[in-house]
Amino acid sequence: MSYPVILCGDHAQYERKYAEEPAREKPFWPLPSFDARDWSSAFCKIAKAQGHDLDQEWVTGWFANALMRGWDEHAVRCAKPKSFLTRLKIAFGVRG
């Protein structure tokens, strides 16, 4: 499976080309999905084509953990930093 490389502003034309197709039949699937089942299905399909037989449920668990770790990392990077005093209050359970 190869993913499209869109150059020179052709993205809109590319999207129009695949607008009527179901999401799972587009060549860039599962890129827009945050469902671990979609990713594990695509991964196992490629692995099987290369001669590897994987347990899809196990792979789904792995992808679920990886996707959530990415989500958590994003949340941490986007969070507003707290002052040192606020962090101390939180650490010691001080209210107010």
pLDDT in tens, 6-43: 656 666 777 778 888 888 888 878 888 889 999 999 99
Overall pTM > 0.75: no
Mean pLDDT value of segment 47-58 = 96
Tokens 């827009």 belong to which residue? 32
The angle that helices 36-49 and 56-78 make with each other, rounded to 10 degrees, is 130
Q: Is the peptide bond before 30 cis (omega within 30 degrees of 0)?
A: yes
